[in-house]
A and B are shown apart, each in its own frame.
Chain A
Amino acid sequence: MNNNEIVSELENIVGEQFVSDKPEETFLYHYDFITAEPEGKCDIVIMPKTAEEVQEIVKIANKFKIPLVPWVSGINFGSTATPLKGGIVVDLRRLNRVLEVNEDDMYALIEGGTTWAGLQAYLGKNHPNLMAGVTFSPPGTGVVASCLCYGMFNLGMLGGTGAEFINGLEVVLGSGDLVRVGSCSLSDYWYGRQPLPDLAGLFIGWEGSTGIVTKAAIKLWPKLPFRKDFVLMGNTFDMGIPVLLKLSKAGLGICDIFVFSYNWIQAAIGAYEKKVPLNPLKDNLPVFISGVTTQAYTEKQHEAQCEAIETISKEGGLTEAPQGISLDILPYQAWGAWNFSRGGGGEWIGSYCSTREIIKYYKLARETALKHGHTSQFYSRLLFGGHYCVSRFNINFNKNDPEEIESARIILKEIHEEVSSLDGVVMYKAPKWAHEVYEEKIYPATYELMKKIKNLLDPNKVMNPGHGWGD
């Protein structure tokens, strides 16, 4: 491959300032600098400003048969934006505008590289009565990327996964064609994906391997005048999870329900893994720490909702944290998630699963972690009125220590194997090795369909090769 020729053509599209093949600039796109997944290599990085520029970039990638990796912040716990087969990283952060907010139908039309900070800033200044669901990711990460990869938000009880927050998409396909899916394919009105064939699925969960999303409409929600964040604690998951499941189905204006293990909280607040109890259960510490957020339109409604939450919690043996704690702090740099072991490395087994498997998931993962001398950093969030949930387990390591990296890889795979025995456990933002497991297990005709779709949308296989499905 002649980089100079490609760079020169790319410069013609976006200008010299926004293309680089200098090692000092491409180095930072080789991988995410967090996980234990292998490094890739970014040969060229480019920063387009418009969908038309993205189209031209895709055409060049097809011409030279060179990989393209869509990228916003490049960090996620599955390393899905790592250029495993080299090529061009398309850093989308110049595509960062909030184009429209429709207050009537409550959605924001944003560009593909918009960050949580960017969206929150815009809403805070211009639409303080509306709120976006926000992830636990840091403020500099991408909204659209998170939605496309099934990220989950602090409004998950209302809207489900990030993917379900998507009303419509504008996408540059691997072939270079620009398409729109959802109501926006018939008008400039981005109210939803219904009632046309739901083509958004061609891009959701594919980890950028079918196209580059240049615009997306994301659902917003009303910020009601009365809000309370409950922090409910219990001694065990056996005690606490049934309470959360009951709350999720009680219709109490709840927009978020999640649970952290004790060690996850310690990580989040920046404690050092080597200095905290490996097994807090032995010290009778409350290992079950949950958050429940409710909001209401009137004070009476709010009081009734809060009273019901308190009653259900007490009946289930949970105690409320004595001091009021605001959970309205997102997005936040929860650096302990990758730095609990003070080596800057972290990776998870993050999965969607049935709500009836949360306790088993926690216990299986915990036992495996303890066996290897790791704490139990578990986290689960109930979604979409309690229809399903996300469960995650983190392992931290020192990025400077090859032995620790290798050990983390082994532990993660062990945990994955254990929890995969439970109902419906499927990783999201799954790294390549997990994909390989699923490709063997998935219904064969389904996988064949995936391959056909991939071939259709990305005939030269330039889009994020090594990631996604049907590669």
Chain B
Amino acid sequence: MAKKKRVSYIRGKGVSKLRLAYENHEVERHQNIEHYKDIVYQCGKCGTCRTVYKDAYWSRICPSGEFGQFEAYFLGGKNLLSWAVTSDKLKWSEDLAKIFYHCSVCLACTQQCQIPEIHHYAGEWLMAMREEAVRLGFGPMPEQARYTEHINKEHNPYMEKHEDRTNWLPSHIKQSPDAKIAYFVGCTTSYREQNVAIATAEILNSLQIEFKILKDERCCGSPVYMTGQAEKAKKIAEENVKMFKDEGIEKIITSCAGCYRTLKETYPKKFGLDHGIEVIHMPKFLLDMVNSGELKFNKEINMKITYHDPCHIGRHMGIYEPPRKVLNKIPGIELVEMDRNRHNAWCCGSGGGVRSAFKDLSTFAADERIEEAKGTSAEAIVSCCPFCLNQFKTHIKDNEIKAFDIAELARKAI
């Protein structure tokens, strides 16, 4: 008999897979760590969070744990450490904060745990612990503090100048100054993965979408928020929302998974900024255009590819199928899956401030994902997050496999 699968969306928390869920309790999100201490103590540190259920051959799933090895680096350990500090069993320390920052908050662990409250909400206390670390002066990590300072000054975490943000913009891109649609490029795309920006803008032009790139576009605040600096991130968010309103923006298209998650989810749910602006991620936009017949892929791209699910749109937002559907519409593309895919995807190791603060862990995670992609015999890893893309490009050796953003392939196929 085919196994009955329960799949449900829990308020933008990713696709959840609970095999036997008799009761699901709704838990308040975005609270401080005190709020969650009794829930985290349901954890028995049983180790289920360490491996994917048998769908993907029980593969390991937690980059932080596999690199750190000790219990503390897996979700079970983090659950009980959270309980310990809220129950006076353990004191806050730099070492404790470091354990919580030694994690890309990819949430793959949560998808394995079958305790509903932990399965759905563990991300809440992983973030709450970071916020508590910041409140007590143990966080963020020094590298993260440095880029935050730069964001405050130059509005990007890459130590680049704000005035250079649109250097990527070629003269042939046509913008409409009065457009109500903004293409929110994001820092990584603007400074590091400019091909993605060009491809996205060209696609919008080819579809005759009236859009503009904000003259004063700034960091969305994701790298600040994800490192527990909620107050600073909120300030950034408020300034951005004001700018969107001043510019008359009603719809934002973004090619960045992190920006998408932040604008769509974090601004209203965490910061209470109900901006009322429609936020759409590029793959979903492309799929809508294909489905409505406005976008046609006429050119063949003969390539075997594998798709990497970015954590920020996958487990954080529950978006797994639109990118795959778009890729499958491109003539000549053969899409093959890695063993660990969708909610079980192995993280690329760049998010949650890990790439800046824990380079060894970040490289470890990236290398493992690249090896897995190579194992499919695909010619390229395709993703829809410039941060993942840049991580892959940085770690791929000797052109052993290529890496593309979905917008780059879509642009080639038009």
Q: Is the CB of A339 within 8 A of B44?
A: yes
Give, as a whole number of angstroms, the nearest-CB distance from A337 to chain B.
Answer: 9
Q: Is the CB of B69 within 8 A of A18?
A: yes
* Closest A residue, CB atoms, query B59: A121
| CB neighbours of A73 from chain B (8 A) | 45-47
Q: Is the CB of A24 within 8 A of B3?
A: no
| CB neighbours of B115 from chain A (8 A) | 270, 333, 335, 339
Which B residues, 63 to 114, have Cβ-Cβ distances below 8 Å to chain A? 69-72, 76-77, 80-81, 84, 87, 89-91, 93, 95-96, 99, 112-114
Give, as a whole number of angstroms, the nearest-CB distance from A34 to chain B.
Answer: 4
Q: Is the CB of B93 within 8 A of A335?
A: no
Q: How far does the alpha carbon of A86 sit from the alpha carbon of B69 in the complex, in Å?
A: 21
Does A27 interact with chain B (Cβ within 8 Å)?
yes
| CB neighbours of B45 from chain A (8 A) | 28, 32-34, 73-75
Give, as a whole number of angstroms, the nearest-CB distance from A389 to chain B.
Answer: 25
Q: How far does the alpha carbon of A93 sit from the alpha carbon of B76 in the complex, in Å?
A: 15
Q: Which stretch from B17-25, B185-193, B229-237, B253-261 is at the chain A interface?
A: B17-25
Q: How far does the alpha carbon of A320 sit from the alpha carbon of B160 in the complex, in Å?
A: 69
Give, as a whole number of angstroms, the nearest-CB distance from A233 to chain B.
Answer: 18
Q: Is the CB of B77 within 8 A of A332?
A: no
| CB neighbours of A32 from chain B (8 A) | 44-45
| CB neighbours of A338 from chain B (8 A) | 44
State whether A335 and B47 are in contact (beta carbons under 8 Å apart), knowing that A24-B90, A270-B23 are contacts in the complex.
no
Q: Is the CB of A28 within 8 A of B81?
A: yes
Q: How far does the alpha carbon of A45 sit from the alpha carbon of B70 in the complex, in Å?
A: 9
Q: Is the CB of A139 within 8 A of B51?
A: yes
State whether A269 and B90 are in contact (beta carbons under 8 Å apart), knowing that A139-B51, A324-B1 are contacts in the complex.
no
Q: Which stretch from A112-120, A172-180, A238-246, A430-438 is at the chain B interface?
A: A112-120
Does A326 interact with chain B (Cβ within 8 Å)?
yes
Selected from A120, A326, A344, the residue in CB contact (under 8 A) with B43 is A344
Give, as a whole number of angstroms, the nearest-CB distance from B34 to chain A.
Answer: 13
Give, as a whole number of angstroms, the nearest-CB distance from B63 to chain A.
Answer: 16
Which A residues, 62 to 115, have Cβ-Cβ distances below 8 Å to chain B? 73-75, 91, 93-94, 115
Q: How far does the alpha carbon of A24 sit from the alpha carbon of B84 in the complex, in Å?
A: 10
Q: Is the CB of B3 within 8 A of A326?
A: yes
Q: How far does the alpha carbon of A325 sit from the alpha carbon of B1 in the complex, in Å?
A: 8
Does A25 interact with chain B (Cβ within 8 Å)?
yes
State whether A141 and B46 are in contact (beta carbons under 8 Å apart), knowing that A24-B99, A270-B116 are contacts in the complex.
yes
Q: Which of A27, A91, A333, A346 has the most CB of B within 10 A?
A: A333
| CB neighbours of B54 from chain A (8 A) | 120-121, 124
State whether A124 and B57 are in contact (beta carbons under 8 Å apart), knowing that A24-B81, A33-B43, A270-B21 are contacts in the complex.
yes
Does B288 interact with chain A (Cβ within 8 Å)?
no
Q: How far does the alpha carbon of A240 sit from the alpha carbon of B99 in the complex, in Å?
A: 51
Q: Is the CB of A272 within 8 A of B23?
A: yes
State whether A28 and B23 are in contact (beta carbons under 8 Å apart), knowing that A94-B69, A121-B58, A324-B1 are contacts in the complex.
no
Selected from A27, A120, A324, the residue in CB contact (under 8 A) with B81 is A27
| CB neighbours of A268 from chain B (8 A) | 20
Q: Is the CB of A343 within 8 A of B42?
A: yes
Q: How far does the alpha carbon of A321 sit from the alpha carbon of B271 in the complex, in Å?
A: 50
State whether A138 and B41 are in contact (beta carbons under 8 Å apart), knowing that A27-B84, A28-B80 are contacts in the complex.
no
Which A residues, 16 to 53, have Cβ-Cβ distances below 8 Å to chain B? 17-18, 20, 22-25, 27-29, 32-34, 45, 47
Selected from A34, A93, A117, the residue in CB contact (under 8 A) with B58 is A117
Selected from B20, B21, B50, B80, the residue in CB contact (under 8 A) with A117 is B50
Q: Is the CB of B58 within 8 A of A400?
A: no
Selected from A121, A124, A140, A400, the residue in CB contact (under 8 A) with B47 is A140
* Closest A residue, CB atoms, query B51: A117
Q: Is the CB of B114 within 8 A of A24?
A: no
Q: Is the CB of A138 within 8 A of B58?
A: no
State whether A24 and B96 are in contact (beta carbons under 8 Å apart), knowing that A270-B23, A339-B42 are contacts in the complex.
yes
Closest 10 CB pairs of A and B: A140-B47, A121-B58, A138-B46, A117-B58, A28-B71, A333-B48, A117-B51, A270-B22, A344-B42, A333-B114
15 extra interface residue pairs, beta carbon distance < 8 Å, beyond A34-B44, A124-B58 = A23-B91, A74-B45, A93-B69, A121-B51, A121-B54, A137-B46, A138-B46, A138-B48, A140-B48, A141-B46, A324-B1, A333-B115, A339-B44, A346-B44, A400-B87
Of the A-B pairs whose beta carbons lie under 8 Å apart in the complex, a sample of 17, sorted by A's number, is A22-B95, A24-B81, A25-B70, A25-B95, A27-B81, A93-B69, A115-B50, A117-B50, A121-B54, A138-B48, A139-B48, A140-B48, A270-B114, A270-B115, A333-B112, A333-B115, A339-B115
